[in-house]
Amino acid sequence: MPEIRPTNRLVTRIARKGGAVAAGARAVPEEVPIAFSYGGSTHAVMMGTPQDLEDFAVGFSLTEGIIHSVSEIEAIEVIDAETGIDVQVTLKDEQADALIVRRRHMAGPVGCGLCGIESIEQAVRPVPDLSAVKLKVTADLITEAMSSLNGAQPLHRLTHAVHGAGFYVPGKGLIAVREDVGRHNALDKLAGAVLNSGHRGADGVVVVTSRVSVEMVQKCAILGAGVIAAISAPTALAIDTAEAAGLTLVALVRGEDFDIYTHATRIDTGVSAHVA
């Protein structure tokens, strides 16, 4: 079980129907600067929740194209700093050299979001072709995956202030869940957890408690997952990117109902197609 690190803050509770005002306390998630450093040089600083940081480092390194597999990382060291956390990642020589070359072409500092991006073309970067992913799932599995994720978020249960990302494998259930104040961070942590568990992205379904932006689709595709299911809606660019990548995008999963936006053939709905 991942370490849970909420903190308490004093609040003034207002109960308008009862006309009551009272002092109390609420659990809130921590949010700190998390630096990712490679070869002793800071590459990016993210604002995030300080748990599952080794998974975060692996997933971030993967989805940012710094590595292609976890075997390309020699070591990860998490160092507490005065005002944040420095995650020191040591790469194998070939990957370290490639990152040095990449840094020379960066226009400026990087941060949360699309890290190291210096052009519009890079922001809408090509993603892997997932058309060869053979995974097919039922509608019931999509419903079960989201229901399982909703019940497996201890930090959200305490604070109601973080996003969750889970990986559901048919026949095994929800094998990993990661949480963070940032939805992209939660997905990066999940990607690292999947790689560290020895699974492939193609083995299961990514489920998330957020809307689906293009970055979420890009990260899911880089992980190699053929299906992403979300509790909220996608953006138009996310749909277009998922279509081009061969990724099945399912959204607005609410109970047994959901919308399939792209590559619906991976989902066995159990009903005949009918447009009302």
What residues have CB less than 8 Å from 241, skipping those under 6 apart? 124, 127, 214, 217, 218, 221, 247
Angle between helices 183-196 and 214-223 (to 10 degrees): 0
The pLDDT tens digits for 25-66 are: 999 999 999 999 999 999 999 999 999 999 999 999 999 999
Q: What percentage of the chain exceeds 70 in pLDDT? A: 89
CA distances (Å), origin 8, targets 11, 28, 29, 147, 198:
9, 6, 9, 28, 36
Where along the chain do its domains lie? 32-123, 137-268
What pLDDT score was predicted for residue 100?
84
pLDDT score, position 1:
42
Q: Is the pLDDT of residue 110 over 90?
A: no
Average pLDDT over residues 180-198: 97
Contact partners, residue 81, CB within 8 Å, separation at least 6: 35
Within 157-196, strands assigned E span: 163-169, 173-180
Q: Is 112 a catalytic residue?
A: yes
Which pLDDT does position 122 carry in this prediction? 57
pLDDT over 50 (residue 112): no
Q: Which residue reads 């590595």 in tokens? A: 67
Question: Considering the domain 32-123 in this protein, what is its CATH number?
Answer: 3.10.20.10
DSSP state of 215: H
pLDDT > 90: what percent of the chain? 78
Q: Which residue has the higher pLDDT, 160 or 272?
A: 160
- Candidate from 109-118, 130-139, 171-180 with smallest mean pLDDT: 109-118
- pLDDT greater than 80 at residue 144: yes
Residue 104 has pLDDT above 80, yes or no: no
Asked if the 137-268 domain carries CATH number 3.30.930.10, the reply is no
Rounded to 5°, the CA angle 255-227-65 comes to 135
- Tell me what pLDDT residue 105 has: 55
Q: Which of 112, 124, 252, 264 is catalytic?
A: 112
Q: What is the pLDDT of residue 23?
A: 93
